[in-house]
Amino acid sequence: MSRKVEFYTITIYQNEVKTDYSIMNLFRNIKINLLESEHNTDRTRKFDGRKIRLFSYYESLNYNQIVLPFGRDKGTNKPYGVDKKDRLEEIPRDLYDVNSLGYDSEYNIMLYTTNQSGPTIKNVEQYLNSCISSNIGVNLRIEPIEYNTGIEKVRNAELVKSITFSLDLGQSLNAYYNRQIDDSGRAPLLEAFRNFTETAQSEGDSRLLSLKMSLGHTRRDATLNKDSILYLLEQINIDSGFVKEIRVDYKNGTNEKLDFATLKDTKLLLSHNCTCAGSQVSPQELLNNFDSAIENRVREITSHMRVFDQDKEQYTGGDIPIIVNV
């Protein structure tokens, strides 16, 4: 059996600026101060009218991966057990619907299970922020890792026949590329494309630009250089206002019909099907499947994180103090 787990980033912001503060360090400080303290600490906190609790961690042998189980109290909606006389009786213990947060310090990414009855991503973000003092200008944010389904169609295609860019020349080029491109290492196709769009914007009088690269009339098995096309697409910020649409015509085989993919607004939350014994992925199962989940989606992860990490700044405070009672 398998169940879906989803990929996220988890980051400390300082005065609304994304920072490089160690999430693993934060989790270990929470563990020491909240879960292992000899003093009374408040592991259960209330959000949106429901009690959320953090349970003991699961950790890999080399401590680069960690799983934090979070439970949402079932409240009065408890199941019944059966006694020795076959009579129903309410189970007297506190019962929880659980979701687990997994974190990998090498890739700096987070996995989260998808038990609909368990705590939501918002609940977990609220819980972790309740452990951080609210008056030091620091907060934690969990954000989805998304991938472009159109680019995946192009990546899996056998033949790329044409690509058409529809661009809004009235928009700024500042956010058009995903990163600052080193002149010495710029690929020829990307350099030509960049020069053309910059010239069209500065010298042309039109507002819109449509640019098409194609093979024209040629052999059925002819194709554009897919690696170069994919490299170009990975450098362009497709979400920017400058891009109105990008369309790629492709074939999945020489004798297959021509198909197309549009790349604007075609993002989905990155996920992985995780092997599990029961109806939900347990904390231990999430830890056991962490490496295979990353390996299965490493291309999308590294592509996303390359852009996400661009504007991170060095954290300038000391250790974040942990609030153990609220």
195's tokens: 């020069």
The pLDDT of residue 94 is 79
Q: How far apart are the first and last CA of the chain?
A: 39
**Percentage of the chain exceeding pLDDT 90:** 60
- pLDDT exceeds 50 at position 28: yes
pLDDT in tens, 290-309: 999 999 999 899 989 988 99
pTM summary value:
0.81
Q: What is the dihedral of CA 166, 172, 173, 178, to 10 degrees?
A: -90
- pLDDT exceeds 70 at position 243: yes
pLDDT in tens, 175-216: 666 654 444 444 677 778 878 888 887 777 778 889 999 988
Mention every residue, 6+ apart, whose C-beta is less than 8 A from residue 130.
45, 323, 326
Residue of 127, 131, 142, 141 whose CA lies nearest to 46: 127
The pLDDT of residue 198 is 80
Q: Measured between alpha carbons, how far is 203 from 132 in angstroms, rounded to an integer?
A: 52
The domain spans of the chain are 2-145+270-308, 147-267
Q: Measured between alpha carbons, how far is 304 from 325 in angstroms, rounded to an integer?
A: 36
Residue of 46, 93, 52, 47 whose CA lies nearest to 70: 52
Neighbours of 172 (CB within 10 A): 11
pLDDT in tens, 89-132: 676 677 899 999 999 999 999 999 999 999 999 999 999 999 99
